[in-house]
Structure 1
Amino acid sequence: MVRGREWSGFEAAALQEAMRRSVRDFAALLGVEGTTVVNWRTGLGSVRPRSQTQAILDTTLDQRATADDRARFEEILIEGEAAWRERHQTSRRRDTTKPVQTSDDPSRTPTVQSLGTAVPTTVEVSRPATQAGAYPMEISEMNRREVLRLLSIATTTLITPVIIDWDRVQFTAASGRLDMGVLDQYATLNRMLWKHYGEAETKAAVFGTVREHLSILVDGLRGSHSAKLRSRQLELIADVLQLTGEILLDSNHLAEAAHCYALSGTFAADAQAYDLWACALTRHAYIGIFDNRFDDALPLAEEAVEVARRGDISLPTRYWAESVRAQVQAGCGEADECQRAFDAARGVAGLGETPSLGWLRFSGDRIDEEEASCLIQLGQPEPAERILMPLLERPLSARRRASVLVDLAAAGALRGDPVQTVWYGGVSVDIARRTRSGYVGRRLDQLRGRLTGLADDRHVAHLEREITRLATSPAY
Structure 2
Amino acid sequence: MASRRERFAERRVAQGYSQEGFAEALAVAASTVVRWESGRATPRPHQRPEIAALLGVTLPELEALLSEWQPAETAALADDPPLQRGDDDDMKRREVVGLLAVTGALVTLPDSDGISRGRTASALLEAGDDLHRSLWKVYALSDSKQAVFPAVRGQLDTMSKGLAEARTSTERARLCRMTADLYQLVGELFFDVNRYTDAAQCYTLAAHAAHVGGDHDLWACAMTRHAYVELYARRAPAAESLLAAAARVAQGGDGALSTRHWVAAVQAQAYAATGDLDACDRALDEAEKVYVLDGEHSHNGGWLRFDGSRLAEERGACYLQLGRPDLAEAALTAALAQPLSLRRRAAVLSDLATLGAYRRDTDQVVHYAEQALGLAGRSHSGFVGRKLDGLRGSLAPLMADDRVSDLDHRIAALPRTT
Do the structures match in fold with TM over 0.5? yes
Aligned to 1:170: 118
Conserved? CA contact 2:107–2:163, under 8 Å: no
With normalisation by structure 1, the TM-score equals 0.67
Residue in 1 aligned with 2:324?
380
Match of 1:404 among 348, 370, 395: 348
The C-alpha deviation readout for 1:77-98, integer Å capped at 9, x for no partner, is xxxxxxxxxxxxxxxxxxxxxx
Q: Hey, what does 2:385 align to over in structure 1?
A: 441
Written as runs of structure 1 = structure 2, the 5 A alignment for 1:2-13 is none
Deviations 1:225-269 (A, max 9, x none): 311100000000100111111111112221111111110011001
Q: Report the 3-state secondary structure (helix = DSSP H, G, I; strand = E; otherwise coil) of the residue aligned with 1:365.
A: coil
C-alpha distance in 2 between matches for 1:407 and 1:254? 22
- For the structure 1 residues 413 and 218, does the alpha-carbon distance in structure 2 shift closer, same or farther, using more than 3 Å as the test? same
- TM-score (normalizing by structure 2): 0.76
Task: Find 1:310's aligned residue among 223, 246, 252.
Answer: 252
- Kindly indicate whether structure 1 or structure 2 has the higher relative contact order, using CA contacts under 8 Å at least 6 residues apart: 2
1:217 maps to 159
**Match for 1:454 among 398, 401, 404?**
398
Deviation at 1:438, TM superposition (A): 0.8
Number of residue equivalences:
334
Aligned to 2:93, which of 144, 151, 154? 144
- Residue deviations 1:101-147, cap 9 Å, x none? xxxxxxxxxxxxxxxxxxxxxxxxxxxxxxxx9x89x9921221111
Offset of 1:184 from its aligned partner?
3.7
Segment drifting more, 292-301 vs 229-238? 292-301
Report how far residue 474 of structure 1 moved.
6.4
Residue 63 of structure 1 corresponds to which residue in structure 2? none
Whether contact under 8 Å (1:290, 1:442) holds in the other structure is: no
- Does residue 463 (structure 1) correspond to residue 407 (structure 2)? The answer is yes
Gaps of 5+ in 2: 1-83
- Aligned partner (choices 164, 169, 189) of residue 227 of structure 1: 169
1:193 is matched with 135
Output aligned runs, 1:63-142, within 5 Å. 140-142=89-91
Distance 2:284 2:88 in 1: 35
For residues 203 and 345 of structure 1, what CA distance do their matches in structure 2 show? 26
| Aligned 8 A contact 2:380 2:416 in 1 | no
Other-structure match for 1:87: none
1:159: how far off?
4.1
User: Secondary structure of 2:340's match?
Assistant: coil
Deviation >6 Å, runs of 4+:
none
Report the alpha carbon displacement of residue 310 of structure 1 after superposing the two structures with TM.
1.1
Give the equivalent residue in structure 2 for 1:122: none
Counterparts of 1:289 and 1:139, CA distance in 2: 31
Distance 2:351 2:103 in 1: 39
What's the secondary structure of 2:260's corresponding residue?
helix
Corresponding residue for 2:335? 391
Name which of 300, 312, 323 aligns with 2:242.
Answer: 300
Equivalent-residue separation in structure 2 for 1:364 and 1:284 (angstroms):
20
Residues 312-353 of structure 1 deviation map (CA, whole Å, 9 limit, x = unaligned) = 011111100100011011011111111111111110011113
**1:203 CA drift (Å):** 0.5
1:140 counterpart SS class: helix
Kindly state the Cα deviation for residue 453 of structure 1 after the two structures are TM-superposed: 2.7
Matches within 5 A, 1:29-40: none
Residue 216 of structure 1 deviates from its aligned partner by 0.1
Question: Aligned partner of 2:377: which letter?
Answer: R
Taking the aligned partners of 1:356 and 1:153, their CA distance within structure 2 comes to 27
CA distance in 2, matches of 1:139, 1:234: 30
**Which amino acid is the alignment partner of residue 146 of structure 1?**
E
> Per-residue displacement from partner, 1:40-64 (whole Å, max 9, x unpaired)?
xxxxxxxxxxxxxxxxxxxxxxxxx
